[in-house]
Amino acid sequence: MIYADNAATTKISDAAKQEALSCMENFWGNPSSLHTPGQKAAEKLFWARQTIAKAIGAEAREIYFTSGGSESDNWAIRAMALAGAKKGKRHIVSTAIEHHAVLHTLKRLEQEGFSITLVPVQQDGIVRTADVASAIREDTALVTVMTANNEIGAIQPIGEIGGICREKKIPLHTDAVQAVGHIPVNVNEMHVDLLSMSAHKFHGPRGVGVLYARRGLPLSNLIDGGAQERGKRAGTENLPAIAGMATALEEACRNMAENAQKEIALRDHLIEGLSEIPHSALNGDKENRLPGNVNFCFEGIEGESLLLLLDAKGIAASSGSACTSGSLDPSHVLLAIGRPHEVAHGSLRLTLSAENTMEDVEEIIGAVKEAVAYLRSMSPVWKALEKGEKEYVIQ
């Protein structure tokens, strides 16, 4: 099987797996206990907190362990909404291409009386800093913009947006789940106040992540109980997962430049190959995109059918985001970059890791070409396009 769905999840690295196993065997004490096994676990926990803090330019006390990206997004946004509301600020600025963990949290807040501005993105999938700036109001409590998009890989100008937010004294949250471990992320250079990450997107374990919150921010409690995570998120820590995450992140940062260089070569070759398919189009900016991300629209086919054909050929891909597959709605991200409904349905996301090879890419190109031709040969829409009864959307 060729695995090309690394934006959905990545395979845990050997080092991260070994670290998690070693914690289960040797660091099983409760970090809150005062005896030796407890203190050994507490030291391991502190090592993980420090390692992760260092990787993003933060301090250990600004790191809060969570169950993953979704929890971190929910917590950051709700906490800043609450803090804003206390000062009469009930407006939040975000973008049209956020992950559902952000968009659905905002939708809920809207039902609770907040007003939400979703800034549109350009055709390249990138939001313009000036558009974010002009969406900010007197009563804006939070700006939340993702670092890199999970569907089309478009990297957003977070540093610039952070500069604006700093000037206007508005907290900035970024969902950096797709970015951390893949491209350089530094909370100070990016001027971000809150940041979400998730271990399973950088070859760490599932069900563990981090919310970074700059010290001094009014971060409300998520779970009341014990004193874990500075009393803000109670519950005995999942040390094997947390230490596995720290190991995976340390490894990903150490190999970042080398992995990115390799993935970019694979990515660009794949883009070149798939561009040869008539009436196809790359989604998202060609340059400003995550090293492993390829996302295409093919006119006249259904993404889901393509996905299943590729699976039968031994290639694991995605027809958008894992969260939207299973529903018939086209991707909100593809609609946001201006793809019409019928074309947005015919999309394919291939997300590579440094473990993929050029041979994999050649095989993917061949398989996609074959599958697209086959699906088109059976598609009434495609026949109508060929006969000129309908106009091509993608030239």
List of residues contacting ligand PLP (CB under 6 A):
68-70, 73, 99, 101, 146, 150, 175, 177-178, 198, 201, 209
CA dihedral 71→67→259→190, nearest 10 degrees, is 40
The smaller minimum CB distance to ligand PLP, of residues 293 and 356, is found at 293
Amino acid occupying residue 41: A
Cα Rg of the chain (Å, integer): 22
Min CB(133)–ligand PLP separation in Å:
23
Min CB(7)–ligand PLP separation in Å:
6
Min CB(208)–ligand PLP separation in Å:
8
The smaller minimum CB distance to ligand PLP, of residues 143 and 375, is found at 143
Identify which of 335, 332, 337, 340 has the alpha carbon closest to the alpha carbon of residue 103.
332
* 332/344 Cα distance (integer angstroms): 9
Burial of 108 (0-12, 13-18, 19+ CB in 10 A): middle
The smaller minimum CB distance to ligand PLP, of residues 210 and 365, is found at 210
**Locus of tokens 């420090």:** 50
* 202/181 Cα distance (integer angstroms): 6
| N- to C-terminal Cα separation, the chain | 33
Min CB(154)–ligand PLP separation in Å:
11
* 386/299 Cα distance (integer angstroms): 11
Please pick, among 165, 253, 297, 323, the residue that the annotation labels catalytic: 323
User: For residue 12, what is the DSSP state?
Assistant: P
Min CB(374)–ligand PLP separation in Å:
31
The smaller minimum CB distance to ligand PLP, of residues 334 and 371, is found at 334
Q: Residue 395, CB half-sphere, CA atoms under 13 Å: how many?
A: 0
The smaller minimum CB distance to ligand PLP, of residues 150 and 318, is found at 150
Check if 323 is active-site: yes
* 336/43 Cα distance (integer angstroms): 46
Backbone angles phi, psi at 69, to 5 degrees: -65, -40
Element at 240 (helix H, strand E): helix 239-254
Cβ neighbours of 258 (radius 10 Å) = 10
Using CA atoms, how far residue 365 sits from 152, 248, 270, 273, 310, in Å, is: 18, 30, 7, 6, 11
* 135/133 Cα distance (integer angstroms): 5
* 363/59 Cα distance (integer angstroms): 45
**Locus of tokens 């006969």:** 387
The smaller minimum CB distance to ligand PLP, of residues 55 and 101, is found at 101
The smaller minimum CB distance to ligand PLP, of residues 201 and 233, is found at 201
Min CB(209)–ligand PLP separation in Å:
5
Min CB(181)–ligand PLP separation in Å:
12
Q: Which residues are catalytic?
A: 323
